[in-house]
Amino acid sequence: MCSNEGREGEHSGRQLWREVRFQGYSGSERMVYRFLETLKTTEIVTSAGTPRLPHSTSTSAVWLFMRRPDHLDEIQREDLAAFRLAHVSLNPTYQLVQDFLQMMRHREGERLDAWLSQVQESGLPELQSFAQGVEQDKAAVQAGLTLPISNGQVEGQVTKIKLIKRMMYGRATFPLLRQRVLHAL
């Protein structure tokens, strides 16, 4: 046991690097030190009082931010809480993301202007960049958040036709492409 209040295991970056290199790791020693730094700075105490660091990919962390809170199980809720506590900017980010998703789910496009103002006031560069993109095509975004109609069906058919066309590239002429498209629909 180490002097870290009962935590077992190797704590030397150099020794860890040697061990993982022996197991086939081809990265640098510096990368191991960087990873260890993230573990030190983001370890969080959960509601049960035990230190816990969610071992997640960025994709699964984003997934936790995007899911409806009532659809998460207990472990996922604890992981989400740990992520939100990991950095001071993650809690307002979560709130703004959930608010935008609420607008999407309930077709509340009339709230878009207020949400864009909140994003600008938040000082979160990633969300501000997203908001700038929304501002560039605000009318279309507002329509998408408000109207029940969508061009999703048309886009799906166009994607299917492009796939068929790419599969046939260089093999036949237009009459065969026409037949394949008609029979695929």
* Predicted TM-score of the model (pTM): 0.59
Distance CA 137, CA 155 (A): 18
Total number of domains in the chain: 3
pLDDT digits (tens, 9 = 90+) for 106-163: 999 999 999 999 999 999 999 999 999 999 999 999 999 999 888 888 999 899 889 9
**156/142 same-domain check:** no
Please give the angle made by the CA atoms of 39, 60 and 126, to the nearest 5 degrees.
80
**29/103 same-domain check:** no
In sign, the C-alpha dihedral spanning 127, 128, 129, 135 is positive
75 near 84, Cβ under 8 Å?
no
The domain containing residue 106 runs over which residues?
A: 48-146
pLDDT digits (tens, 9 = 90+) for 48-105: 554 454 566 778 888 988 999 999 998 888 888 888 888 888 899 999 999 999 999 9
Distance CA 93, CA 152 (A): 28
The stretches of 69-151 forming alpha helices (DSSP H) are 74-86, 90-105, 112-122, 125-136, 138-146
**168/104 same-domain check:** no
pLDDT attached to residue 164: 87
Q: What is the DSSP string of 57-88?
A: -HHHHHHHHHS-GGG--HHHHHHHHHHHHHST
**142/167 same-domain check:** no
**72/162 same-domain check:** no
**90/120 same-domain check:** yes
